[in-house]
Amino acid sequence: MWHPWMTIPEGWVRWVLLVVLLGATLYALKQTREPLGRLPGGALAIEFGGSPAGAKAVLDEWRETGRDWRKSFTTSLDWDDRLIPAYGLLISLACIMAGAAAGIRDTHWASLGTVLAWLMWVAAALDSGENQALRKAVATDPPVSPWPEIAAYCAGGKFSFILAALCYLLGVVFLVASRWAYPRTARG
């Protein structure tokens, strides 16, 4: 299976890209989370509100803090829009590199890494859809259907794909570590 990251030669170029994407992801993540830091439940509370009533309950709780929750939320979403391509590209590149680094290019592990790399782009699209649904959900007071539901479904899909990719990366780390710790002996 092919992925666009495979056109970049293995070696230092991929590592430089990985480090740059990691830096961009961490910076945007910090900027995304900071405005919501003092709001109860943070971004996850509204992402998984799941219904107009659930979203309204979160917004009511945010109003009780006395902070300008709308400004904080909008700033957070604006930064999240910048975070989306960074983490999507970072995790997809890591999945491609993991398969190559493990020396498993022609195995099911490598194919799974390529599928997960593609799914990170799907996760990014879901995250973008979630952000748009959240913007529409808080634009009315109280929030109306279908926007809170759409945001929750998009968030669920996004987090499922990200978790699958992170589990894959962890599995490859364990695979490589076990091969390193217990190398195969020559059989005669």
Using a pLDDT cut of 90, give the percent of the chain over it.
Answer: 44
Sequence ranges of the domains in the chain: 21-180
pLDDT at 186 over 80: no
Q: In this predicted structure, what is the pLDDT of residue 188?
A: 42
More confident residue, 140 or 36: 140
Q: What is the mean pLDDT of the chain?
A: 87
pLDDT at 106 over 70: no
Query: In this structure, is the dihedral angle defined by the CA atoms of residues 138, 140, 144 and 145, taken in order, positive or negative?
Result: negative
70-94 residue pLDDT tens: 888 888 899 999 999 999 999 999 9
Q: pTM, whole model, 2 decimals? A: 0.86
**pLDDT-based confidence at residue 181 (cuts at 50, 70, 90):** confident
146-177 residue pLDDT tens: 999 999 999 999 999 999 999 999 988 888 78
Long-range contacts of 137-146 (CB under 8 A, 24+ apart): 137/46, 137/49, 137/52, 137/55, 138/46, 138/55, 138/59, 138/70, 138/73, 141/59, 142/52, 142/55, 142/56, 142/59, 143/49, 143/52, 143/55, 143/56, 143/59, 144/52, 145/51, 145/52
